[in-house]
Structure 1
Amino acid sequence: MLIGLEIKNFAIVSNLSTEWHGGMTAITGETGAGKSIAIDALSLCLGERAEASAVRPGTDRAEICAQFDIKNLPLAQAFLDSQLLSNGDDECLLRRVICKNGRSKSYINGSPVTAAQLKELGQFLISIHGQHAHQHLLKNEHQLNLLDDYAGHQHLVLNVKQAFNTHQALQREFKQLQQQQQQYAAQKQLLEYQVAELDEFALQDGEFAAIEAEHYKLSHSQTLLSACQAELQQLYENDEQNACSLLQHSAQRFVELASYDESLTNIAELLSEAAVQVEEASREIRDYAEQTDLDPGRLMEVETRLTGAMDLARKHHIKPEQLVEFHHNITEELQSISNNNDRLAQLDNDIEQALIDYKATAEALSKSRENAAKTLNKLISASMSNLSMENGRFKIMLTQEPDKVPNSIGFDTVSFLVSTNPGQPLQPLSKVASGGELSRISLAIQVIIAQKVTTPTLIFDEVDVGISGPTASAVGKLLRQLGKSTQVICVTHLPQVASSGHQQFFVAKEVTKGATFTHMKELNDDGRIDEIARLLAGDNISQMAKANAKELIMAHA
């Protein structure tokens, strides 16, 4: 429930602070005084688009703060908790600042937020019904939304939308895969050839580096063998003189010399160890030479394998070391293309099942709409009678087309039909209702929908345009009755409606030193009598007008 509203430098308002109560609050004032200024400001505070023109001329920025009691609003509390915006108590403060350059800043409980977050929270706080709402009533899409709002079956609406989205997504994937299949036809043939060629060559991971090293060794095997044999002679096998025997001789000599000088012992040991190392190296050289064969056949085999790998790499414009990875990648690509046929077949079945699911959810929504429409027909027809259309009849015509292309709202198209005179057949609202009748029908629908939706605060901005006399009294009673279950704020020019309020605000405009100011104040009992009398009789308020005004107010006491 709205409990406070502060407006600074907004349009022709300089500074305005108001407190609000439950029940029905009427807002009245002279023509052009800006009776809707508070609602316009409140709309901005709830996330509507801000423009630089909203800032009062000569000031830098406009600021609007709206305070709400949310202790009985679980949806609003849940939103604040989910967005980490709760302040831990039963009140919520919304604030919007609009700069003269058109930029704006938004806050919830002091934390910066986006205008979209304000709007999302606002749907749990206030519902505004403008003076042009009856024009929207002529649109079939809006009519369907009203029916869904009254039915309260948002879970069914969401189910249909989700089923539709699933069906659409599957169809998009199917179409995309079909296009890919056509594009990949030639590519698949090439990939099949390339994969078959690489499969046949069957190069293993790390094999190219291994055969490259083996080829290098085999191509130098003669050099390796000759060098090993020559060095083996020099180191160990030459009978006349070799390194090993020379080292052994020197080691023995220094052993003898060490008997004269012990400091030579270390040299003798080093030479002895060197002789041992040379002997060990000679044995390994002999083993290597014995294992090294001159094998032209193996060299040719390795050379053929190496050349084949290099030719394949050159063919695919890659390095030979990348052949194994390339082989793996194009094999996967070919498998993916081949799998598309299986996926297309699966998608065909999935699309068929998704369509069955869509039709089932849409049918459930249609049945719920039918039930709600039957109830709404009776309620609106009765309300029309109360609004001086005694012979009025209202009917929601639902047309179901289960075989049409799926859409996000289901099978149904809707049309509001009405008959306002005896013997007149039901016809579309746009063809038979006059401006005043349309306004009354719109009001009846809005009030009935509002009672079902149970928005905590309902604002009616001059929705009583085009009505007067007994009808105006009926409208007043209707809004006051609604005010027993929810907060109702109504901008009106009718004394019958204004007198129905539990409280009343008066809006006035004045010009001071060339500047225009709008003021808004809550009226006491005497002030209400004077204002209702003004609405009845104009500026020349007589005692009779006051008496009539008092009588109107007392009728609702």
Structure 2
Amino acid sequence: MLQDLSIRNFAIIDELSLSLEEGLTVLTGETGAGKSIIIDAVQLLVGARGSAEFVRHGEKKAEIEGVFSAPDGHAVFNKCEEFGIEIEDEMVLLKRDISASGKSSCRINGKLVTISILREVGAALIDIHGQHESQELMDESAHINLLDQFGSEEIAEAKRNYQDVYRVYDDLRKQIRSLSENDQQMAHRLDLIQFQYKEIEEADLSINEDEELMEEKTRLSNFEKLFESLQTAYEALQGEQRGLDWTGLAMSNMEQAADIDAELKQVSDTISSQFYLLEDSAREIRQHLDGLEFDPERLQLIEDRLNEINQLKRKYGASIEEIMEYFSSIEEEIEAITNKDSSLEDLKYRLESVEKDLNIEADHLSAVRKKWADILTEAIHGELKALYMDKAVFQVHFTEGKPGQYKSNGINEIEFYISTNPGEPLKPLIKVASGGEISRMMLALKTIFSQHQGITSIIFDEVDTGVSGRVAQAIAEKIYSISSHSQVLCISHLPQVAAISDRHLFISKEVKNNRTHTSVLPLVKEERVKEISRMISGVEITDLTISHAEELIDLAHAIKKSAV
């Protein structure tokens, strides 16, 4: 959920901090007080398009920060991992700055990200619905995913089985397309990879050859320094009055001392051991010196070989291992092109067999989706009835693809259809005209899908516009029911929604020093009754409107108590 929201220098808001809670929070206030501006800020926080117009007049930049908490296993964890963003303590911090020049910067948990990444992560955390938009529900391309989420594990399993076969099918089709190119292109390709194959083959590479050559080159290039160092080291050890002589003298004397004092035996043994080790080392240095020989021709051969290897790296891979992997791949391709006809025949035979399996899985996935579409339809009709749209008809419309037209998510194209009046034909949901009907339809769908989408926070921005009476009460109850699955923030002009909320925030504005300032006040008890009275009456608060407000709050309390 959205735990904390901080807004600075945004539109008419100079500085605003909100600590939010679970359940239903309603925001009310006079028109123009800044309610929708807060929602605009949240939309920018999760990736909406920014503009310099949002920056408060006279300020350098607008700043918006939001702290979200998400349970372990939530979709946002996979999304952040995909973009290399670390999450600690199940907290996600989004930050968006917009400068007065219009430039924007975005950060997630302190990491600078693009606006598209911010939008993807934000979409997993919060869902915003306005009077004229409702994101996924009004996007027909997303309807198939919503149905799949509703169908839960049964659809997910059928989809996984289908996609496993589809990947094999798609790979075979790509191979067939590649081999089915025109003969001239294929001939050019064969000439190229045969030349490459011969060039790599003649190079006769071996793994780690370049590393071994570099070590040998280093030795030869530094021959004089190496010889001088070994010679000096040897002379320091071997010879009269040198290291071994003095160490031998120490060893001899310590052996005599140890014969007298047993406590010196360990020291004596250590010196003896070191003497023999130094003696062996001196012998190895001498052997190495005797074997040293500067060979300028060998150095030139090494440099030529390294140049040859580096040229191959520039063409075929960053390492000898990668070059050899490429060599193997073009060997297979040469074989396939050379035996093109038999290869094509084999691939087509395999494709035909895989397509039969794919068709079975596609039909099964389609059948499972249709089963859950019927369950969804029944659930939506129940929700619409509760919203006094019992005459409305909802349908999950399936369009089957043509034979052989398989897609990564199946053969179905799915769109939600609705008819809101008896006798009217079913039409795509996105073409329903009435604002009130859109609000109720969206709430019905959201009530169902909020249990399956995993969104931590949902914002409703005046979605209750154009309704009143019993429909308003039904909408209030529906919004409250959604808050049992996700945190809900709701801007509303309906007293019924305000009365049923768990927390009521009053947004107001005032002028100080010729500047407008927006503030937020949490309402309790009498303050809440007065605000709901104002919402009922419009202007004047009377004893009757106060009584009505108290009655609405009591009714809401009873509804919430019965829902527990």
Q: TM-score, normalised by structure 1?
A: 0.66
In structure 2, the residue matched to 1:389 is 389
Q: What CA distance in whole angstroms lies between the structure 2 residues aligned with 1:510 and 1:427? A: 49
Q: CA deviation at 1:87?
A: 5.9
Q: CA–CA distance in 2 between the matches of 1:433 and 1:96?
A: 35
Q: Distance in 2 between matches of 1:468 and 1:75?
A: 37
Equivalent position of 1:54 in the other structure: 54
CA drift at 1:4: 0.7
Match of 2:460 in 1: 460
Distance 2:432 2:107 in 1: 46
Cα 1:350–1:63 change in 2 (3 A) is farther
Q: Which amino acid aligns with 1:503?
A: R
- Tell me the equivalent position of 2:545: 545
The alignment covers a number of residue pairs equal to 424
Bigger Rg, structure 1 or 2: 1
Instruction: For 1:448 and 1:105, locate their aligned partners in 2 and report how far apart those are by CA, in whole Å.
Output: 36
Secondary structure of the 1:369 match is helix
Per the alignment, residue 177 of structure 2 pairs with: 175
Q: Deviations over 1:223-246 (max 9, x none)?
A: xxxxxxxxxxxxxxxxxxxxxxxx
Answer yes or no: is the 8 Å Cα contact 2:4–2:17 preserved in 1: yes
- How far does residue 22 in structure 1 lie from its aligned partner after superposition? 0.9
- Quote the residue 1:529 is aligned against: 529
- Residues 441 and 60 of structure 1, relative CA distance in 2, 3 Å threshold: same
Tell me which amino acid in the other structure corresponds to 2:179: L
What SS is found at the alignment partner of 1:4? strand
Change (3 A) 1:137 1:81: closer
Q: Distance in 2 between matches of 1:442 and 1:342?
A: 57
Where in structure 1 are there 5+ consecutive unaligned residues? Answer: 195-203, 206-329
Q: How does 1:79-158 map to 2 (within 5 A)?
A: 85-86=85-86, 88-133=88-133, 140-152=140-152, 153-154=155-156, 156-157=158-159
Q: Look up the equivalent residue of 1:130 and give its one-letter code.
A: G
SS at match of 2:504: strand
How far has the Cα of 1:555 moved from its partner? 1.4
Preserved CA contact (<8 Å) 2:336 2:343: no
Which deviates further from its counterpart, 454-463 or 134-143? 134-143
Contact residue 415 and residue 428 of structure 1 kept, 8 A: no
Residue 481 and residue 347 in structure 1: after superposition, are their counterparts in 2 closer, same or farther (change >3 A)? same
Inter-CA distance 474–335: structure 2 relative to 1 (3 Å threshold): closer
Q: Secondary structure of 2:406's match?
A: coil
8 A Cα contact 1:443 1:464, kept in partner:
no
Deviates more, 1:425-434 or 1:450-459: 425-434
- Flag structure 2 segments of 5+ consecutive residues without an equivalent: 196-201, 204-329, 558-564
CA spacing shift, 1:187–1:54, aligned 2, 3 Å? closer
Deviation at 1:543, TM superposition (A): 2.2
| CA distance, structure 1, for counterparts of residue 45 and residue 64 of structure 2 | 6
Structure 2 vs 1, CA of residues 486 and 416 (structure 1 numbering), >3 Å: closer, same or farther?
Answer: closer
Q: Which residue of 1 aligns with 2:243?
A: none
State how 1:154-233 maps to structure 2 within 5 Å. Answer: 154=156, 156-157=158-159, 167-184=169-186
SS at match of 1:476: helix
Report the Cα offset of residue 441 of structure 1. 1.4
Answer yes or no: is 1:502 the counterpart of 2:502: yes
1:470 Cα offset (Å):
0.7
Change (3 A) 1:36 1:408: farther
- Percent identity reads 35
Q: Deviations over 1:217-268 (max 9, x none)?
A: xxxxxxxxxxxxxxxxxxxxxxxxxxxxxxxxxxxxxxxxxxxxxxxxxxxx
State the Cα distance separating 1:147 from its structure 2 match.
Answer: 2.1
How far is 1:502 from its partner? Answer: 0.7
What aligned pairs does 1:260-279 form with structure 2 within 5 A after superposition?
A: none
Q: Aligned partner of 1:11: which letter?
A: A
* In structure 1, distance between residues paired with 2:540 and 2:404: 64
> Structure 1 stretch 514-523 or stretch 180-189: which is displaced more?
180-189
* 1:402-441 superposed Cα distances (whole Å, 9 cap, x missing partner): 626223442223343444455x376225677744223311
- Note closer, same or farther for the CA distance 1:369–1:466 as it changes in structure 2 (3 Å cut): farther
The Cα RMSD (Å) is 3.7
Instruction: Please list the CA deviations of residues 153-212 of structure 1 after superposition, one character each: whole Å capped at 9, or x if unmatched.
Output: 4565566567556544543442332224343469989x99x9xxxxxxxxx99xxxxxxx
Q: Secondary structure at the match of 1:14?
A: strand
- CA distance in 2: counterparts of 1:156 and 1:167, whole angstroms: 17
1:362 counterpart = 2:362: yes
Distance in 1 separating the partners of 2:135 and 2:22: 29
Aligned residue identity for 1:428? K
> How far apart, CA to CA, are the structure 2 residues paired with 1:67 and 1:385?
37
2:562 aligned partner: none
* Number of the residue aligned with 2:476: 476
1:411 partner letter: I
